[in-house]
């Protein structure tokens, strides 16, 4: 066990020395740029009932601006909570498909999130007893009924 640990230490030491020699004396060496701008969701889908969802802005800077594509602000709005952008959409009684783009900018970098509303969630109901209580009919999209009785055969 001690021999394995010693070999690992020697290997790390040698790799460090070799990496320093490979750098040479390059005076034009530039530190890598660690600035970035990204979001944790590229697309967000909303149902027609109106919802609120959020995405996180992954940025090296706390300074970023948010904007929406033209026309999107008639059915959606946003607010910023630290590095989270909370998007809220209004109810969509016409069931039309609405699409928008939220653009985030920080230090010359841009990231976008596509938002879409206009699909309907499926609420399937499977009733297997005649005395089952149904959920509200207006929320159902699919219904399955089963009133068969189990047959028992005796041999």
Task: Write the pLDDT tens digit of every residue in 34-62.
Answer: 678 889 999 999 988 889 999 999 888 77
DSSP 17-60: HHHHHHHTT-TT--------EEES-SEEEEETT--EEEEEEEES
d(CA 70, CA 100): 8
| DSSP code, position 70 | T
**Residues paired with 89 in a beta bridge:** 76
Q: Coil, helix or strand for 145?
A: strand
Q: Count the Cβ atoms, other than its own, within 10 Å of residue 54.
A: 16
d(CA 51, CA 125): 23
Catalogue all structural domains in the chain, each as residue range(s) with its CATH number. Answer: 37-119 (2.60.40.10)
Reported as a single tens digit per residue, the pLDDT across 107-140 is 889 999 999 998 655 666 666 665 556 666 555 6
Provide the pLDDT confidence category of residue 28 given band limits of 50, 70 and 90.
low
Could you tell me whether strands 43-47 and 109-119 are parallel, antiparallel, or unpaired per DSSP bridges? parallel
Cα 26 versus chain centre, distance: 42
Per the CB < 8 A criterion, the answer to whether 78 and 86 are in contact is yes
User: Helices (DSSP H) in 1-155: which residue ranges?
Assistant: 2-23
Backbone angles phi, psi at 40, to 5 degrees: -85, 0
d(CA 37, CA 147): 56
């Amino acid at each position: 066990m001690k021999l394995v640990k010693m070999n690992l230490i020697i290997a790390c030491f040698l790799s460090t020395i070799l990496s320093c020699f490979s750098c040479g004396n390059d005076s034009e060496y530039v530190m890598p740029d660690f600035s970035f701008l990204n979001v944790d969701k590229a697309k967000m889908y909303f149902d027609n009932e109106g919802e609120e969802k959020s995405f996180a802005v992954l940025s090296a800077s706390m300074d970023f601006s948010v904007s929406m594509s033209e026309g999107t602000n008639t059915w959606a709005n946003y607010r910023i909570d630290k590095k989270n952008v909370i998007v809220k959409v209004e109810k969509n009684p016409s069931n039309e498909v609405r699409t928008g783009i939220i653009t985030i900018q920080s230090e010359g970098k841009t990231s976008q999130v596509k938002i879409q509303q206009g699909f309907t969630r499926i609420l399937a109901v499977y009733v297997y007893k005649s005395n089952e209580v149904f959920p509200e009919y207006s929320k159902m999209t699919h219904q399955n009924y089963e009133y068969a009785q189990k047959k028992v055969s005796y041999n």
